[in-house]
Structures are given as structure tokens and as C-alpha cells.
Chains A and B, each alone.
Chain A
Amino acid sequence: MKLNKTLLAFAISAVFLTACTDDEKDASLTDGSQNASSGINDASTNGLGNGSGINGSGFSGGDYASTLGPEFNDPNNPLSKRTVYFMLDSSEVMPDFIPVINAHAQYLVANPTQRITLEGNTDERGAPEYNIALGEQRAKSVASMMKVQGVSDSQLNVVSYGEEKPATIGNEESAWEKNRRTEIVYLPK
């Protein structure tokens, strides 16, 4: 009985919390200028309670790439595809994605001042730190294919987020397969 009351108490509290965070989301969405360091709070919750320092969008998508030229937005052009997917527990690039990687490699060779970050990711299953290692292998597979085409090391930045930045939230294969990926992120010059 006592336990049930506690549960109910928390359920009601959760409603308060939901109401509060919805407001925060609206406020933070108008503020896109926050950088990572201001989102860090040194050992106190001050500044976090009102949602400042939190950027509503957590994903670094290919937004900058879409400003580089019409070919990056043309669905018939491989440059419009900036995600390479992988099989379970594998960092081997599947044949379908070779034309995509080659197209980006050729663009980078032709634009030697352009830099990209290859972000390796995994699905949520298994050990988080092991997944960081697996995600790095996926990003490095793409990097080495690009280097073979003549892309310089200085144009390529590699980071692995493991299972920490899912593209899709879900606990079924249809979500997992969208999360096992390397994202090709163009960096502002």
C-alpha cells in the first residue's frame, strides 16, 4: 500500500516535470547559438534548471552540405546521400554505398580545402564502450576508402559516438538498421 502511494506520488510528479520541460524546449529552440561548453555545468544544477545552455536539436545533420550546391540536394545525385549503413557487428562497407563514398571522395579531391567529419555510430545493443570502438571502425572504413581515392588526411576528421546518438529511437531491427551508420558531415570552411 505504502509502495503504491509512492508510485502514485512519482507519477504525479512526472506530470509536473513534463509540463515544465515542454516550456523549456520552446525557450531553448529559439536559442540556437549555444555551444557545447555553455551546455556544461560544473557540478551544480544552477543554470540547468531553466533549460538555458541546452540546444533543442542534438544532431549534427548535413545542413551545411545542402548549402554547398544543388548537387547536394538532388536526390538523383549520390552527393545527396550522406549516410553509409552497416550490417550487425560489421564495419565492412556494403557494395550499395561505394558509389556514395566515391562521389564524396571525388568532390573532396576537387575541393581540397573542404573538410568533413565522419561520425561512426552503432545500434543500442551491447556494451556502450565496445560500441564506441565499433563505431570508430565504421568511420575509419569510410575514411580509408576516401583516402584511396586521393582525399588528404587533413580533410578527414573521424569521431565515434557508438550507441549514444541514435538516428531513430526504437528497439526493433527497423530502428537498429538506421542507427548502424557513418554520417558524412561537411564542415564550414
Chain B
Amino acid sequence: MNFFRWLLLTALLGFNIEASFAELNIEITKGVESATPLAIVPFGSDSAPVNVSGVVNADLERSGYFKMMDEQSMVNQPSTASAINFKEWQGLGQNYMVIGQVVSAGPGQYNVQFQLFDVYKSSQILGYKMASSGADLRKTAHYISDLIFEKLTGKKGVFGGRIAYVTTNAQRVHQVQVADADGYNPQTVAASIEPLMSPAWSPDGKKIAYVSFERKTAAIYIQTLTTGERVKVAEFPGINGAPAWSPDGSRLALTLSKDGSPDIYVLDLSSRALTKLSRSMAIDTEPNWSPDGSSVVFTSNRGGNPQIYIVSSQGGQEKRLTFSGNYNASASFSSDGRSLVMVQGNGNNYRIAVMDMGNHSVNVLTSGPSDESPSFAPNGSMILYAAKKGRVGFLSAVSLDGKMQQKLVFNSGEVREPSWAP
């Protein structure tokens, strides 16, 4: 990109941010040592509004799995298979390469195609053609990233996903926002001078439940993202907090303190019937469902300090799950139910840890000191969480094996309580 185009882009971004109030920026803080060399050759394009290959390059780069080839080091930039000299790309040390084209197909419509090649075998291993509107080109680019990522790693990509989070700016304005997983297209779901908390996606990704203190008392709302229409589902005396959708979307687990101490309840969203699930005199909060809906994990300090417990979603015996450390909280399951992510703290250092539900062994993934609110990506390979360095709050993502880490910085204030869309 030449300097003037870059300057123009900067100006455009500036105005976008002014309008949308917030932007996230992603930095890779830790990548795998054995990253695979991969070249994304800039796609042949006739004036598409989005740099599709640039988006794909950025997606795959921040996954940490690949060492992306610098555009300037490419001797040639072929956009058709017949134009590739594989020997040349072998000489440049590339294992895989991607070429493609974005071709205009009528007003506002584009045909996008790409091919992934194994450079040493000189053969195509993946190829797709797809139609896209100009407005959907970023989405199409993320879809291409998902396809390439899955082909090369065997794991489902999460580049096409969305995240929700809470921001607080210097004027203490709180916003629940939804953005693409790369931080683009941030949209405000709700904003208030009073705190907003705990955004939770419905299983179909169409609604968000959140806690609002807008009336100087806690209430839980469910808001439909496309229409902005919202319904108040809980405003009992005391705490109305920690909403969590059942996997079938019919019920909401939540925390209420209307009878004294905070307890876990299940609210049937159609009948509005309320069932009490936990019954201690201590703090019980932060419920989250197992993927099959059969049980609910939660945080309780009934044993003197916060630990994770599990109970059948029909009610019954409450069983303690965590025994190491004096602060375990904010537990939630991976989509296969095999792992439970949580915050483990000791008063000064709060880190993200994962429990294997098979043998209950715990693996600490991050170094702290203020890591909180972990949320699994739908493919279970990454965990999104809130972190803090000095006074700056940001989002971070770490791979389940702890080997890769990336950072999402919100440019005007704090960003907290992230949640990956299902």
C-alpha cells in the first residue's frame, strides 16, 4: 500500500471510530515456535471495496499458527494457477501458498475465488468459488480464513465469529458491544451512565442477555440484536445477575438474592416460572450450563472461600469440583463438555486455568495478574478473557494448550467481560 492510500485509510478509520465510539486492535503477544510458513498472494482484484486477501492474511497471522510471508518479499504475485512457478516459492521457503481473485459481477456484487497449494507437492489442496455482495466481503474473507485454517490445522476456524463485551470510557459511560472476532464492526447494544454487566449470547446468537443498573437497581434484560427490542426478565429486590442461557435457549440460569443470600435460580423464559437450584446461606453465583443441559456449575464461598460447585439442572445434591487454590470462580464449559475454564486467584494474582473434566486435573494457562471472565471459542481451541496491565483493561485470547496468545486493545478506555458468540 502506498503512503497516500494509507493516509486516506487512516482518515476513514478515524471517522468510523468517531461514529462507532470504539475500535479494537489485535496484537499477537505469543505465537507457536514452529509456525508454518504461508504466503497469501494479494488477490487479483478489480476495485473491490475490501482488501480480501489482506483480511485473510491478518486472520491467519493472528491465529499464531502461521509465519506469514511479507508482501514485499514476493518476487511475483500470480493470481492464476498456471502463473505459479512453484520452484520460486520453494526457494522463498514457503510450505503453502494461497492465490485468488475478486471479480466484479454486476453492481455491488463480486465473485471471489481462491486456491490453496502445497508448494513442495506443487498441487492444489483446496479451492473455492463464491459470490458475495460488497457489504459481505469481510465476512467472505473470514470464511476463506476458516476454510484455510481448518484444512491446514485440522481445527475449525473462528475468524467468522462474533464477540460481545462491555466497555467503559473515561467519562464512565458503559456500553455492551458486539463486534466481529477481529474487532471490526463494533456495534453498541446498550449504553448507560450506570453499570452494564455480564453479556450472554443466546445459543442461536440472535439475542443477548445482560445486567443493567440503569434504574440504580439491578435488572436483567434480553435484547434481540437485529431489532434492538428488549424485554426485562428479572428485577427482584437485591441482586439480579449472571444470566446464562440453557443450551436449548428455553431457560436462563441467574443469580437472585431476593430471599437473603445470593442463590442460583432457573427462569423458564416462556412460562416465567422460577426454580431455585442452590440453597446455601453463603454466596452462590456465576451459573453456567453443561453443553447437554444436564448440569449447572457455579461459584460458592460456602466453604469459606470461592470454589466451583456443580448441581443437576433439575436440582439436587451440590458437589464441589475445585480443591486447589483459595479462589476459583467464573467457570464455564467448552462446547464438547470436556474442559471447564475458570479464574484461579490467590489475592494478588488472578489467572485463567482449565480443568479436565475427565481426571479433574487443572492446567494454568496465563500469567496474570488480573485475568478474568474467560469464555471458550465455539471450536474450543481458544479462550477469550479480560486482562489488565497497569491501568489499561484489554481482551486477550489464549489457546487451550497455552502456547498462543493475542491481545485485543480497545482504544478509548476499558474493555471487559468478553463472550464469544456460539
| Residues of chain A whose beta carbon lies under 8 Å from any beta carbon of chain B | 1-3, 5-10, 12-14, 16-18, 20-21, 24-25, 28, 34, 36-37, 39-45, 48-49, 53-56, 58, 60, 88-89, 117, 124-130, 132-134, 136-137, 158-162, 164-165, 169-171
Contacts and interface: CB of A to CB of B under 8 A. Distances in A.
Given A12-B10, A137-B283, A126 B350 contact: yes
B50 to A, nearest CB: 15
Interface in B168-200: 169-175, 187-195, 197-198
Interface string B208-231: 000011111110000111011110
Of all A-B residue pairs in the complex, the 7 with the closest CB atoms, nearest first, are: A43-B228, A58-B172, A164-B195, A127-B329, A16-B14, A133-B283, A36-B214
B70 interface: yes
Interface stretch (B119-127, B142-150, B236-244, B271-279): B236-244
Contacts of B228: 42-44
Given A41-B190, A89-B305, A127-B343, A5 B255 contact: no
Contacts of A58: 171-172, 193-194
Contact of A41 (B15, B61, B188): B188
Given A17-B412, A48-B191, A129-B285, 9 more contacts: A16-B14, A21-B171, A25-B171, A45-B187, A49-B18, A58-B194, A60-B216, A130-B306, A169-B391
Interface residues of B, number: 84
Contact of A159 (B9, B217, B230): B217
A55 B193 contact: yes
B13 interface: yes
State the main secondary structure of chain B at its contact with A: mixed
Contacts of A1: 70, 72
Interface string B276-310: 00000001011000000000000100000110000
A64 to B, nearest CB: 14
Given A9-B9, A49-B19, A54-B193, A130 B223 contact: no
A170 B71 contact: no
Nearest to A1: B70
23 contacts: A7-B25, A10-B13, A36-B215, A39-B192, A40-B190, A41-B190, A43-B230, A45-B21, A48-B188, A117-B216, A127-B299, A128-B197, A129-B286, A129-B330, A136-B239, A136-B257, A160-B218, A160-B239, A162-B197, A164-B195, A169-B391, A171-B388, A171-B391
B362 interface: no
Nearest to A43: B228
Interface string B65-107: 0000011100000000000000000000000000000000000
B59 interface: no
A169 B414 CA distance: 12
Given A5-B1, A42-B230, A136 B262 contact: yes
A133 B239 contact: yes
Contact of A129 (B27, B58, B255, B350): B255
